[in-house]
């Protein structure tokens, strides 16, 4: 079993729709959690950290469920510019970031 | 931008050769991590350096080695290149070691091994 698992997609979603990504992780001792965004042929960029209480940044909402070892990302009112690969990232407290394979999202006009 | 730079941007090598990739971290960032990203996969941790010492290593063979210098620059060296080493190599810097720190990625070096 992979340490961080994501549905690779692709997700093809009409502009303006709401889309949700899920991610599960294997180690209950995990310390910190992130969503990164990666555009085609570019480096990953931090989208948002994920906190136990859940957090929101504009149209983006991240949730963490430690009991189920589950992280989610919700994008509301999706824009064409949201098209990218979204990477679920976990730090297991061992000095490295562990990435999922990423979920590819395409917003359709 | 993140302030992290990498060179070269692209590189073509043949099997068996050696390669050195370079990274310049943000000023003041004591920690640099290197990742390998194969096509269609998420980045995989190679190793991390903190204050010029290796501070954690992923599941990569010893022919992957690194250095970190006092001027916030670092190198990734790969000996005896194999076809499967073709990937995007990313470095990421952070202020301190400890895991919760945000890591800032450079634009990467695309390596093709023929």
Q: Which residue of B has its CA nearest to A30?
A: B99
Q: Contact, A15 vs A80, CB < 8 A?
A: yes
Closest alpha carbon to A8 in A38, A47, A43: A38
A27 touching chain B per CB within 8 A: no
| Lookup: tokens for A87 | 């990477």
- Structure tokens belonging to residue A85: 């690969």
Nearest Cα to A85, choosing from B65, B88, B51?
B88
* pLDDT on residue B100: 55
Which chain B residues are within 8 Å of A21, Cβ to Cβ? none
**Pseudo-torsion of CA A33, A35, A41, A42, nearest 10°?**
-80
Q: Using a CB-CB distance cutoff of 8 angstroms, which residues of chain B are in contact with residue A87?
A: 42-43
What are the phi and psi torsion angles at B83 (to 5°)? -55, -35
Distance from CA of A95 to the nearest CA of B (A): 5
User: For A14-33, how does the pLDDT look when each residue is reduced to its tens digit (9 = 90+)?
Assistant: 999 999 999 999 987 777 89
Per-residue pLDDT of A51-87, as tens digits, reads: 888 899 999 999 999 989 999 999 999 999 999 999 9
Residue with tokens 């043949």, as numbered in its chain = B14
Contact yes or no for B42 and A97 at CB 8 A: no
């Amino acid at each position: 079993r992979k340490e961080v698992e994501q549905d690779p997609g692709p997700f093809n979603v009409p502009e303006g729709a709401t889309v949700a990504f899920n991610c599960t992780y294997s180690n209950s001792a995990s310390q910190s959690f992130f969503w990164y965004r990666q555009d085609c042929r570019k480096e990953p960029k931090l989208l948002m950290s994920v906190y136990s209480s859940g957090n929101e940044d504009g149209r983006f909402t991240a949730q963490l469920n430690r009991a189920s070892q589950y992280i989610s990302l919700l994008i509301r009112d999706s824009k064409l510019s949201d098209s990218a690969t979204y990477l679920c990232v976990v730090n297991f407290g061992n000095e490295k970031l562990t990435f999922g394979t990423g979920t590819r999202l395409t917003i359709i006009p | 931008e993140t302030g992290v730079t990498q060179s070269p941007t692209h590189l073509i090598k043949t099997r068996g050769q050696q390669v050195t990739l370079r990274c310049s971290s943000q000023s003041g960032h004591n920690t640099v991590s290197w990742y390998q990203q194969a096509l269609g996969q998420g980045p995989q941790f190679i190793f991390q350096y903190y204050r010029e010492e290796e501070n954690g290593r992923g599941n990569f063979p010893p022919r992957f080695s690194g250095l970190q210098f006092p001027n916030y620059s670092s190198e990734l060296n790969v000996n005896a290149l194999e076809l499967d080493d073709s990937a995007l190599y990313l470095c990421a810097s952070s202020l301190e070691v400890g895991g919760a720190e945000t890591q800032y990625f450079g634009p990467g070096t695309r390596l093709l091994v023929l």
